[in-house]
Amino acid sequence: MMSQRTIRLTIAALGGQGGGVLSDWLVATAESAGYFVQSTSVPGVAQRTGATIYYLEFCPRAAAGAAGCEPVMALMPVAGDVDCVAAAELVEAGRMMLRGLVSPDRTTLLASSHRDYTIAERSAPGRGPSDSGALLAIARTRARRLIAFDMAAIAARHGSVISAALFGAIGGSGVLPFDRRQFEDAIRASGLSVAGNLAAFAEAWALAAAGTVAEGSATAGGRAPAPPVESVPAALRERLGALPAELQSVATAGICRLLDYQDPAYAALYLDRLERILPLARRHGSGSLALAGVVARQLALWMSYQDTIRVAELKTSLARFARLRREVRAEPAQVLRVTDFLRPRVTDLADTLPAAAGERLLRMPRLVRWLARATGGHRVRTDTVTGFLLLRGIAALRCWRRGTRRFREENARIESWLARIGQIAPRNHALAVEVALLQRLVCGYGDTQENGWRHYSALLAAADELAGRTDGAVRMRRLFEAAFGAASDAALERELRGLASAGGPPAA
């Protein structure tokens, strides 16, 4: 039965998700069904990769004829006056709720449960992604009806884009009074990847018609499975087998990571260091291996720090080019152009030199100033022979990594970290675990790595004082969370001042 009132629909989509095509399909469907329809769009900002709001109003021509005039339609949605919000990503659904466009007495909310992380989420030093489960829980209370499932996965299965799945969800939800044939005809008339788009449309239609709501926390990707033990060289495999069973999975992953990063001797050094921690872990009641498990993971991450050699290696890996081709859906015969923006600092250059040469360079202020002007930002076409070979040449310095200034510096830092854990563990095992977790602050490269190291150093300096307190682990965790926050410098300074002024009972 044809609706006799204006229907208002808002679409929230990111750049590249086909929001404009989806809007065109809806316009074509409505016009074929005898409706007046108006579509407007407001582009978003680059922080959400071009997030755009599309707004459509649908009014039946029969109702307009009875009124004796054509309808006057709005250009933008108004809070409390939207019948359907269709979001092509879960945080976009949250953004529409914040704007008040989703109301419990009126709005059907259609959302893809997958995640395309925001810049803030990607750049957070700790766990940045929003809690998808919490967003879904809020959506259940804010919308009159919620339909949510992974539309990106549907699009990927059928070689389509998410707009086709979202189109199917809109149709299957019943918010628009149009026949399925009219929806499908709009896809056919567009001539855009008709077979794949129709397949994605059909699967999404069925899920939406069933009122599907995703459960749990949706993410942009799960944790990679642990590598098989057979991938470890025989000499290291024997030592791996001597570790406690609870550690073997994470230690196997650590060994494989360091084999890819450097060589078997470097992976053997990882095992040497891990074996030094085991007696400390076993000494703590009932043979607890919590400390050893944390060290096994964080040590592998720290030993595979990102220097210029590693960055060049990752940017020119075959796996990366294959992933980029998948992401842009490039055909086998299509040429993919890849431009990388590189901004090496003088410190990065010195870190790649032999240790003594790097130190001499940094003690020459005139040369440092000249190099700072010469480096700056550079765009390198890694899909060209010259650009690729330039980075592969840097990656080839991997065999000299042990002699570089950066290796000497990181090696000393790792040894200091392990020594501090060894000193604290007998006095305060829980605090030793928190100190082991401080490695998470030291990540990335360039300014990110320097800021993390500054915070790490401040927290490590507080560890000696905290070792004698029963609440030492709790205090360290609070310091850690402050260092991870958005306003980390100010928050960490407040926590450190509070630590200096507060007393506490000694550890037992």
pLDDT of residue 14: 83
380 and 249 within one domain: no
Are residue 113 and residue 262 in the same domain, yes or no? no
Q: Looking at the structure, tell me whether residues 167 and 28 fall in a common domain.
A: yes
**Alpha-carbon distances of 306 from 9, 267, 310, 322, 411, rounded to whole Å:** 46, 16, 6, 22, 13
pLDDT for the residue numbered 223: 52
Instruction: Give dist(CA 39, CA 180) in Å, integer.
Output: 21
Sequence-distant (6+) residues with CB within 8 A of 462 are 475, 476, 479, 496, 499
pLDDT of residue 174: 94
Interhelix angle for 180-190 vs 19-32, to 10°?
120
CA dihedral for 436, 217, 139, 3, sign (positive or negative): positive
Supply the range of the domain harboring residue 419: 404-508
Question: What secondary structure letter does DSSP report for 193?
Answer: S
Contact 6, 57 (CB under 8 A): yes
pLDDT for the residue numbered 66: 67
Asked if 362 and 288 sit in the same domain, the reply is no
Q: What tokens does 351 get?
A: 């870190």
Quick one: which of 325, 23, 34, 363 has its CA closest to 182? 34
What is the C-alpha separation between 498 and 506, in angstroms, rounded? 17
The span from the CA of 132 to the CA of 334, in Å, is: 36
Block means of pLDDT (10 residues each) for the chain, length 508 residues? Answer: 75 84 95 92 62 90 72 88 93 91 95 83 66 87 94 91 94 94 95 92 95 63 61 86 88 93 94 89 63 92 92 92 84 88 87 93 90 81 91 93 94 94 88 89 76 85 82 85 67 71 50
Per the structure, the count of domains in the chain is 4
Question: How many whole angstroms separate alpha carbon 152 and alpha carbon 112?
Answer: 7
How much is the pLDDT for 242? Answer: 87
User: What CATH number is associated with residue 185?
Assistant: 3.40.920.10
- The 10 Å CB-count burial string (b at 16+, else e) for 98-124 is eeebbbeeebbbbbbbbbbbbeeeeee
Quote the tokens at residue 443.
Answer: 């990540």
Among 304, 329, 349, residue at a domain's last position: 304
Instruction: Please tell me whether residues 384 and 434 are part of one structural domain.
Output: no
Q: Are residues 364 and 448 in the same domain?
A: no
> What is the reported pLDDT for 28?
95
Answer yes or no: are the C-beta atoms of 482 and 465 closer than 8 Å. no
User: Is the same domain home to 329 and 451?
Assistant: no
Any domain includes 218: no
Q: What pLDDT, on the 0 to 100 scale, is given for residue 348? A: 87
Residue 96 forms part of a structural domain: yes
**Residues 6 or more apart from 121 whose CB is under 8 A from it?**
128, 129, 130
Residues 50 and 98 in one domain: yes
Q: What is the pTM of this model?
A: 0.70
